[in-house]
Every structure is written in C-alpha cells, then in structure tokens.
Chain A
C-alpha cells in the first residue's frame, strides 16, 4: 500500500470516528424526516457540509423556498471563504486533484491540510488522500445512519468530541512553532469576543473577519515574531 495513504489514514482516524457517528446522526434524522437512502447519499455526496446539511433537512423537507436555501447555505458556509487562501500556490502545481480538494474543503480536511504530514510523506498525495478519505467517511456515515440508525442501541453520546480533540491537537502542534503563537492568540481572543457579542449561532463569520482584520493590522509584529526562530 502507498505509504502516504497509510499516513493519511492514521491522521484521519479521529475524523473517521467523528464522521461515521455524526454522518449516521444525519442519516437517521433524514430517515425520520422521510428521506430515503438515495436522497441521503445524494445530499452528503453533492453538498458535503455537515452543519449545513443538518440545517437544510427541515427546510428541504418542508419544501422551503430557494431564497431560504441559498441564504442559509451562504451564511452557514461563509467561514470557508478564508480556507483556500493558504493553499493557492500549493494547489496551482497540483493539477486536477486540487479541484477535488477545493470541492471538499470542509473544516476537518482544512485542519489536516494545516497540519504537517510526516517528514517522508509526499505532501500532495497526503493532502489529496485526506480529502478523499474524509469524503468517503462522511457519505458512509450518512448511509449507515439512514439504513441502520434505528438499530443502534449503544449510547454514543459525546463521541463527536473526537473532532474537537483533533482541532485542539492541531492547535497544540502549531503552538510549538513560535511564529504561530501570536496569530493563534488573535484567533482565540477574537472568537471569544465575538461569541460574547453575537451569541452562539452567529459569531463565526464576525470572528473570522475580525481576526483577519487584526492580523492585517499587526502585520509587522506577527512577521517580527516569525523571524525570531
């Protein structure tokens, strides 16, 4: 087996756990709202965005208007507008595989792309496999939940914490490099501030915009801290 695929599989294990269970929760909910297997898989494969799919279920289930669907989709997904910025140069050399990564650039895949692969890995392959594996996990989770959701009797409450844990691990790894510390503090403080001001359901976009603005304002300080190493 390609060693890069092995590396990616190990790196994405927490995402496998998270996506199977959260995907299954989505599949079960879709089932309860009257969506069959084909419809569930179609939503997961074509939209491929966790929180957006949950938000859309009652809207599409209730034959909501296209204006509502478009507004919800843009606002729930808006944070992703900032993800690609770090990969423009990297993806230009990658060719067609980059298109698939862009199509499937969710929070979790972004987090893998932001973390360093093992030293002897081929970065392009590692990234591409991460996008593909995560995509498969999510669709499989949805299908499993839709078919067998009602049969699961063990209590899996809390298993979705695996994703939070993954993000904390990546933050910790980034913190080891001094250059990343000031940007991380900016992100954390801005996010807490916006959470306090805008509330849980609508703070993420203001948090992204504010932290980007602060980062640009203190550009010289950040760069200075980055060259100390």
Chain B
C-alpha cells in the first residue's frame, strides 16, 4: 500500500474491528438464543466481582519486591483507598485520597 493515508485508515479500522469483535463476542454468541443457557446466566451473575478482582491485580502487576520503591507506593496507596472507603464509604474521598498519597510517594518520597 503506497498511500500512507490509506494505510493509516485501514490499519486503524482493522484494529478497531478486532477490538469490537472482542467486545461484541458474547452478544454475537447468544444473539439467537431466546433464553440464555444456565452457565451463561450463572457467569453473568458471578463474573463481575471475579473480573474486578482480576483487574485490580492487573493494575498492581507492576509491583516488584526487589526494592522498597517497587512495592511501597502501590501497596500503601491501595491500602489507603481500602481503609478510607471502609471508613467514609465515599467514592471520591477514597479515590482522591489514595491517588494523592500515591503521587506524593512516587514524586517526593521515592523519587
């Protein structure tokens, strides 16, 4: 493909199509079934808490125990979010508090 604009547009469309395919996959799979099979209903109900836990691990995957700066900022800030939330149960306080602590830790304490 010689024209860079055509290449760019096609490349983006190809990536978008693959990405959309993964998002639409369950809807395509069960588009025909009138009633969802039992296992799908079960997973639909219990997968979210399971997946959210996986996503938290995904966010914390950068933790490394080879140096203090590798794990203290992430673990301490995560713990702060948890404690703030158990205490106040206000989303914004928990998230802002944890994020500020994290920024101070990585920018000032462990810079």
Contacts and interface: CB of A to CB of B under 8 A. Distances in A.
Interface residues of B, number: 66
Top 5 A-B residue pairs of the complex, sorted by shortest distance between their CB atoms = A187-B53, A73-B18, A191-B57, A187-B50, A84-B26
Contacts of B54: 187-188, 190-191, 204, 207-208, 211
B45 A163 contact: no
Query: Is the contact region of chain A dominated by helix, strand, or loop, or is it mixed?
Result: helix
Interface in A180-207: 180-181, 183-188, 190-192, 195, 200, 203-204, 207
A10 interface: yes
A70 interface: yes
Nearest to B41: A89
Given A11-B91, A49-B19, A161 B77 contact: yes
Given A85-B40, A89-B36, A169-B81, A56 B46 contact: no
Chain A interface bracket (under 10, 10 to 19, 20 to 34, 35 or more): 35 or more
Interface stretch (A119-127, A132-140, A142-150, A151-159): A151-159
B66 interface: no
Contact of A207 (B22, B36, B47, B57): B57
B41 to A, nearest CB: 8
Interface of B: 4, 7-16, 18-27, 30, 36, 39-40, 42-62, 73-74, 77-78, 81-82, 85-86, 91-92, 94-96, 98-99, 102-103, 105-107
A5 interface: no
A63 to B, nearest CB: 6
Nearest to A166: B95
Contacts of A183: 46-50, 53
